[in-house]
Amino acid sequence: MQYQIGDKVFHPIHGIGKIVAIKEKALNGDVPSLYYEVAMSNSRMWVMVHPLEEGRLRHITPRSDMERYHSLLKSRPVPLENNYRQRQNDLITRFKSGTLQDLCEIVRDLRARKTLRVLSEFDSTLLTRASDYLFDEWAAINEISRY
């Protein structure tokens, strides 16, 4: 098992959580399997203890790496694709990867695009979500409450 009870983790769709239990469950009538019980800010989710499923989670970033990501946010933005569908597919793929680097690049590049033109509803929503995930992770790294 890659994660232990008490580990703080990040899920690319649900954000920051904490492993609170590892239990055997039979979900949807399937054969019982081991699952991580992950407590999120407003809910709980179950992630199968299996290499393919564990890949959805990652440990939160070590505090020692934060300067690198802060520098990335301040670095020169990369222009995003002008074609809406292509840009949307690229941004969704990067967002779902869940890496802190991808989140920082999304925020950096969409903020730069926002200075040049009005963002589409999709771009604006994604910028808000990616920013929220960054703030949540920084708060978790520094062991402070964001709210």
Which residue range forms the structural domain that includes residue 34?
8-59
**Which CATH number fits the domain that encloses residue 68?**
1.20.58.1290
The residue-averaged pLDDT of 43-67 equals 84
Task: Give the Cβ contact number of residue 82 at 10 Å.
Answer: 9
Side-chain-side CA neighbours of 109 within 13 Å: the count stands at: 19
Same domain, 70 and 96: yes
pLDDT at 76 over 90: yes
Say how far apart CA 101 and CA 84 lie, in whole Å. Answer: 23
CATH assignment at residue 36: 2.40.10.170
Predicted pLDDT at 123: 97
Q: How far apart are CA 82 and CA 52, in angstroms?
A: 34
Cα Rg for the chain, rounded, in angstroms?
A: 17
Q: How, if at all, do strands 58-59 and 33-40 pair?
A: unpaired
